[in-house]
Amino acid sequence: MIWLEDIDGGNWRIGLKVSEAQKGFVADRVTMLARAYAYRNFRSRAFVITNDETPIGMGLYYDYPELESYDLSQIFIDERYQGQGFGKAATKLILDAMRADGRFKKAVL
């Protein structure tokens, strides 16, 4: 079962990465965490995408008040777990979390 686990002091060092071909499209783990810190005043939420107890990816979103929306800044599935539907399932969970938060009615990429 897939779920989102907020980044904390115990899980931020996990060894997840995308394939070499995808590196131009997705920031690495450290850059994503730096971005989460930079947008902390916009209620950034960085999280690990977990399947059962296995970390399989990461993501980040934050508030974008100028557009009255959330900014789904980043999502990636580790190269070992791609092609299994995890990205689609994780995106649905992220959008569900945004809806539950209820601050905005839309998201931008």
pLDDT tens per residue across span 17-75: 888 899 899 888 899 999 999 999 999 999 999 999 999 999 999 999 999 999 999 99
For residue 98, what is the domain's CATH number? 3.40.630.30
What is the model's pLDDT at position 32?
93
Higher pLDDT, 26 or 106: 106
pLDDT band for position 88 (cuts 50, 70, 90): very high
Query: Cα–Cα distance between 31 and 37 in angstroms, integer?
Result: 10
Write out the residue range of the structural domain in which residue 41 sits: 2-108
Find the helix or strand (DSSP H, E) in which 55 lies.
Answer: strand 54-64
3-class secondary-structure state, position 109: coil
What is the model's pLDDT at position 19?
86
What is the model's pLDDT at position 18?
86
In single-letter form, the type of residue at position 53 comes to: E
Task: Report the number of distinct structural domains present in the chain.
Answer: 1
